Structure formats: structure tokens, C-alpha cells
Structure 1
């Protein structure tokens, strides 16, 4: 009676006190067991929720199938075309399915890439005794560049300021030079932008040039711009800003563009005045932080004070010859519905704001790009398979066979990229202690890049079995079309990354 009850309990409860392998019936469908798996439903006798080791085994089994197939697949991938040829020939049990392997390898590759592709974003303590004076000098130099009337004048200001910044950089610790280097980059951008503007002005009619110079002289005489850039206190900045805005509101409408665009033009000028005031306020706040905190001031703290670099002032995004605005001058695709155009302009607005961050925080853009690459590849692989299908019409292969070939080829490419990123990581760790490893790492990366197209060519030859002349023709056509599609995807990816920063 007791034995029967125990047996019934084992059948009903699904496991005995001695362990899960004492099961006699499947816990799922109650079918009598004759091995490790139920022949009716396929469920294993191992219950992962009752043992930590089995739970971990279940995770690895689900994602990697660590029963030898992952290692066999990776090993056979080293021989171009072997895995794809065997898989489509029906030898599937020995390999990891192509889509599963592609997802895992691509995610792993670009996860490692985030660590390998590094842009300095250090957050060190700043200990620069002349930082306050340098900030004022840099702001004055940019103001002089914006008001320069000739290319020679721009170059003279640039050369003088670069010499001062480089001298300051030589006097500070290496970890604190990042801020000065960014200031040098910003100065060069400002100077190049002003030179481009002056060259455009030189191409205008002489009367237009004279009128622009006269307007510039009147502006200099009233010291409107200098009133903000030379302000020594926040109160002076506010006073100068209010005075310039009041003057703008009183200007004769004839100064502006067409009457219908007067409000837009005036609004843009006021926006520029506010931006200049905001930049000067940020400079003053940073100067005060350096003066009051001394060696304890951190670069990251400056972010609370605003943006002191006004390189992009006066250069708004424009469409139809007018500054872009989501309300007054939106980007419209005529055949799109309203909600789609609203979404588009929302993305344009985010992109415009992020472009201004791009030069200050380039690592955010790089991270956004790397994060988006796996998704882009996931979309590009079916297109590559379609190109193979079109190139090999009449081969008797279905689209899904071409898709498996495309997936395995991209898996190998991702593995090569992963190897490159690992070499980059090792280079960052070993090269400072052994300079020769930098040469070895660079050579390895170069060889991997060279091997990529060779591998794909050999793989295509072995999988499809054509002669070399026909294989080369098809390889060139498919490769060229895919390169064009990849270039278009890269442009889209770059724009998307700016929006998603």
C-alpha cells in the first residue's frame, strides 16, 4: 500500500525524493519515460527551476546550444563555404541555425566594439591656474573672428590665439589638456566658418559688399556685440542683452527681408542675441567656479553652467532658403500624411539639437552608431540574399537557401570584426608597456580587412560551384550592388544616430 502510494505520488507529483532522474512519467504529458527525453512531447526530465546548475545549463542551452554545435560551427566557418554548403545540403543537426548564430555573434561583436572604439571623455580634476584668463581670451578671439573684415585678419587672430593656447597646454598636466584641445578645435571651426563667409561675400556685387561693410561699421560703432562679449558680470550681460533686443524691436521693417518674413527674420536675430548672452553667462559662471573652487573644480561640473562655445550661433538649419521651424517653416513631404510629417519634423528638431552636441560629445554619436549597426545588418542580410537570388536565377535554389548563405557569410564577417576589436582592446592595454604590440595589432587588423573579400569570393565559389570566370562576374556584380546599398544604409544610419544621440 505504501509502495503503491509512493509510486502514485511519483507519477502525479512529477519527481521523487531521490531526484529528478527517478521520474517514470513525463511531467508535461504523463507519457511513460524511456530515456532522458519524452518521446511524445520531447520534454527533458531535468527541471531547471529546482536546481541552480540546471537553470544555468538551460540558459546556455537555449542561447548557445553548447552541445558541441557552437564549437563545430565556428571551427567549420574557418573554411570558406563549408558550413553553408553542408547546412543547405541537409546536415543541420551538427550546426547552430544561421539566424540564431547571426543574432548572437552580431550583438556580441558590437557590444565589444563599444569598449574597443574609445573616444576620450575623461572627467578629471582641472588644475589650470590660468584657465579663467584663457577663457576670457578665447572668447575675445572668437568675437574678433566673427567681426573680421578680411581673411588675413581672421588668420592673424587665429595664429595669435593658437600660439597662446598651445603655450598654455604645455604648462598643464596631460590629463587636463583635453579642454584646451577642444578649445583649439572650436577656434579653428570658427575661423574656417568666417573665412568661408568672407569668400562668399567677395563674390557678391561691389555695392552689396560696401553695404554689408557699412552695416558692420555701424554695428561696431554702437558696440552691440561687444557689449555682451565684454560684459564682466551677469548683470551687465542681462542689461546688454535687453538693450540689443529692444533696439531690434524698434528697427525699421525695411531692414528685414520681405514683409511676410519679417517676424521670422526678427525672431532669428533675437534668438542669436539670446544665444550670445547665454554663452557669455556660461563663460562667467565657469570663470567664477575656477576662481572660487580652485584645484577642486571638475570638468564635469562645468556642464551645469551651460555652453560657452558659440561656434554655431547664426547658422540655423534651413529649408527653402529660410531657417527651419517646426511651426513656421517645417519640412513637408507632400505625399505623406500629417502625422508622418509631424513625426519627421520632430526628428529634425532632435537632430538639430544633437548636431550642436556632436562636436562637444562625439562619443555619444559613436555609441549611437555602434548600437544601431546590428539592426542595420539585420535589415541588410535579406537584401544580400535577394541579390544572390537574382544573380543565381536558374540555379534551383530557393530564397531561404540564399538567406542561409547570406547569414553565415555575415556571421564570419562579424567574427572578423570581433577579432579586430579584440586586437584594438589588447593594443590599448599592452602598447603602453610594449610599443611593438601596436605594430603587431595594426598588421593583424590590416590582414583581417584584406581577408574579408577573399573569404567571401572563395565561399561563393564553393557554395554555388560555378567556374572562376562566372563566379568573378557574379561576385563583382553582387558586391558592387551591395556596396551601394550599404553606402545608402550607412548614410541613413549616420542620420539616425544623430537623432538617437
Structure 2
């Protein structure tokens, strides 16, 4: 016996007992379908209750593709056929940035960027350069620099020759960028070596110096940054620390300024030594592990941070430190300054993590954009209100236009993110799809501003010149605010990580 026979269609509403004359009760609005008796209707009710989705979503999305049609019809009172603007914007923005988490990836596979450390990645394939960039920077002679340069360029040329015919041009661009970067690092190091080896003019005139050709064989003075082994590094560290420790012993206990200066100098030497120790250990790991894949973030967690920078500074002052050199806002309460320096410390630590693992930037950006859009939709409506003061439309009507505009932008971004995913999935098997994906993505980017212009023209009905002028004013102000909001929220996301 069928389910329909088991549960015949009721003649009276199960909620209020009113006689039924259709699918819904005219008295209370309840449907005649009991979701407890029909699994399909139960699932439909879950989606309808959470998303309020029904056949209108397809009609709304279809009409949304025509610039201004949905907004204009909605403002004219044709509301029952469309999903309300706020609900549509929420649905599309959540769906868009959920999909983006799975399809948008940059960092490891960044099309050929090379920062001097680790393997270079070109179109998803790693070109093993070891740590050539770092070795060039630490080379002790011009001949050593040129040897490392030649090895790096040889690897890049080998990678260029291995690129299949017909592969999109991004690979060639990545190779060219890598060659340019290696040459830039090498040229800079050669200039530094020659500058250090350049003789004093008076001594050169007296004929006391060695000939210029011997510059290549001149070794650099031993420093922490160019120590060749951990043993040499520790000896150099102890040598630098001894006079500072002796100085500290002679500083009066009440001289806080001198003690802080001395402590900062000791800390700087220890920081530099720690960075060089990490570099040496990573170099040793690279040499012994051969062609195994490496990730800078993992190396940093295992061996320490090998990026020997000067630390965080503000306005050219001494490096920031939460204890010895904090940021202090004049007139602010002490608890606020403590909180501010805590946030600076977290943000700086997370920023350094993100330089090792660029996917953290990705997550920060993808979490910042939806929040920025939600915040700026009311501002976009306000810009429309101010720009169209003589249109006779109220703020809420402009808000409808703003919401449907942003819904279309989310729809376009969703299509673009899906193309990213298809590109990553199909291109390894068919390289020609990269061209197809690139054309579609470029078309979506180009059509978005055109769509918004046509939408503004259709909804407000002004002439082309007036519409274009107002469009440029609204667009310029809005994208300035959007860039600021995304940047601010991205920084906030990095701090909260």
C-alpha cells in the first residue's frame, strides 16, 4: 500500500480545523503536507526553515543576471516572485566564502615566486634550488657568489626547458621572475663584497693595497651572520657578549636606562645568533634530506625562525619590545597601554608566522571580505542616497539597490571561485583548460563594473552622462572604503589568530 493511501489528503486543517480549499489553510496558513509522514517534504522543510529557499531562488538568480531587473521589479512592488534582498545577500555571501575556503589557495603554489629560501614553485611543481638565495647572501667572496648564481640559473633554465608546449604563459613568467630575483640577490651581494673590500683612497695612492683582482679572494670579517658552523657561531656569540656582560656588572643598580640599553644589546646579539643557528640547521637538513619537499613554516617550527630581521620598529625608534620599549599612548590608562602592547605582540608574531605560511594571509583575507561587505552595504546605500538626492527615493529603497548589487557581486565571485577549483582539478590533465578558465575569470572581472553601471542606469533612469558621473563618484568613494575596511579587518584577523 502506498504512502499516499496510508495518509489520505485531509479535508480540514490539522492546526485550526478550518475547511481546506487548497494546498494551504486560508485561516492559519499551514500546509496540508505533514513532514512527519513524507521524508522528502521533511528535508524540504529543513532547508526552507533555515534558508527560506523555494522556487523563488532560481527565478531571483536568473533575473539577477540582467542588470537592475530584480531591484527595479522589487521596488515597483513585485516582491512575491523574488527572494528578499537581505536574505539573498546573506545566502550568497555565506555560500561564496564557504566555497572560497576550498578553492582559493595561494602561498606554496604561487606561480613561481622566489624569496631566496627553499624550493621555488612554478605552476605547482617545485624547482629544487636548495637555499641558493640565502647562500648567495652569505657568500664570502665574489667567486662564491658567481658559483651559486650559475647553479641557480642552470636549474631555472632546466625548468624552462621542461615546460610542455601549450602550457599557459604563467610558467614562463614565473621562470623569468625567478631568474630576475636570483640575479638581483647576486648583484646586491657582489656590490656589498666589493664595497667592503674597496681600499682607502689615500692608501691606494701610496700603493699599500693589494691589486683589485684580489678582491675576489678577500674573506669577510667573521660575524654572527656569516658563521659557517654552530661551533663558530657560539664562539662569536660569546666573544660579543663578554664586554656587554662586563659593562652590565659596572652599571649602578638604580640606572634603569643604562641597564635597559645593555639588556637590549645583549638581546640583539642573542636574537641574531638564534636566527643564524636556525639557518645553519635548516641548511644542514636541506643538504641531508635531498629532494624531499619542504615547507618554510614547518622548518621554522622545528628549527627556529631563520629570518634575521631587525624587529618591529615604530617611526624610526629602537626595536619595539613589550617590556623594555613598549608603545605608550600619552594620557591613556595603564591597562589600555598593556592591552595595546599585547595586541602588537600577537599581531607581530602572527605576521611572522604568515610570512612562513602564506595560507594564513589567505584565511585572514577570506574572513575579512565578508565582514567588510556586511559593514559597507549600509554605507553604499547612504552614498546612493546622497548622490541621488533628487530622485524621490527613500534610504530603504537605496538599501534594496545596494543589497541586490552586492548579491550579484557575490554571485560573480562564487562563479570565479568555482572556476579556480575547476582549473586546479582539470588543468593537470588538460593544460588548455587554463586558457578557458583565464578567459572566463577575466570576463567576470570586466563585467562586474559594467553590470553595476547598467544597473544604476536602469534603476534610476537618468541619462548616460549623469549616470556615469554619479557612478564614478559612488564607485570611487565605495572602493576606497572597501579597501580600508578589508585591510583593517585583515589586520584584526591576523591579530586574533
1:203 alignment partner in structure 2: none
Equivalences for residues 441-452 of structure 1 within 5 A: 441-452=437-448
Residues 38 and 44 of structure 1 are in contact (CA less than 8 Å); yes or no, is this contact kept in structure 2? yes
Question: What is the TM-score with the length of structure 1 in the denominator?
Answer: 0.71
Computed over aligned residues only, the root mean square deviation of the Cα atoms, in angstroms, reads 4.6
Q: Extract unaligned runs of 5+ from structure 1.
A: 1-15, 127-132, 146-152, 200-219
Equivalences for residues 71-470 of structure 1 within 5 A: 71-121=58-108, 141-143=136-138, 159-167=146-154, 223=222, 225=224, 229-232=227-230, 240-251=236-247, 261-283=257-279, 285-286=281-282, 302-307=299-304, 309-312=306-309, 314-319=310-315, 321-334=317-330, 339-470=335-466
1:487 alignment partner in structure 2: 483
Deviations 1:116-170 (A, max 9, x none): 3322548xxx9xxxxxx966x876654458xxxxxxx8x8875543434455678
Residues 74 and 82 of structure 2 are in contact (CA less than 8 Å); yes or no, is this contact kept in structure 1? yes
Change (3 A) 1:263 1:51: farther
Query: Structure 2: how far apart are the matches of 1:286 and 1:304?
Result: 11
Q: CA deviation at 1:406?
A: 0.3
Greater helix share, structure number: 1
Q: Extract unaligned runs of 5+ from structure 2.
A: 110-118, 120-128, 163-173, 196-218
Query: Structure 1: how far apart are the matches of 2:344 and 2:188?
Result: 25
Q: CA deviation at 1:94?
A: 0.6
Change (3 A) 1:111 1:164: same
Query: Structure 2: how far apart are the matches of 1:248 and 1:109?
Result: 57
Residues 13 and 30 of structure 2 are in contact (CA less than 8 Å); yes or no, is this contact kept in structure 1? no
Change (3 A) 1:335 1:18: farther
Question: What is the TM-score with the length of structure 2 in the denominator?
Answer: 0.72
Q: CA deviation at 1:415?
A: 1.5
Alignment pair present for 1:56 and 2:43:
yes
Residues 372 and 497 of structure 1 are in contact (CA less than 8 Å); yes or no, is this contact kept in structure 2? yes
Q: CA deviation at 1:305?
A: 2.1
Residues 354 and 361 of structure 2 are in contact (CA less than 8 Å); yes or no, is this contact kept in structure 1? yes
Query: Structure 1: how far apart are the matches of 2:364 and 2:149?
Result: 32
Query: Structure 2: how far apart are the matches of 1:59 and 1:336?
Result: 51
Instruction: Find the residue that maps to 1:358 and give its secondary structure.
Output: helix
Query: Structure 1: how far apart are the matches of 2:490 and 2:182?
Result: 22
Change (3 A) 1:433 1:224: closer
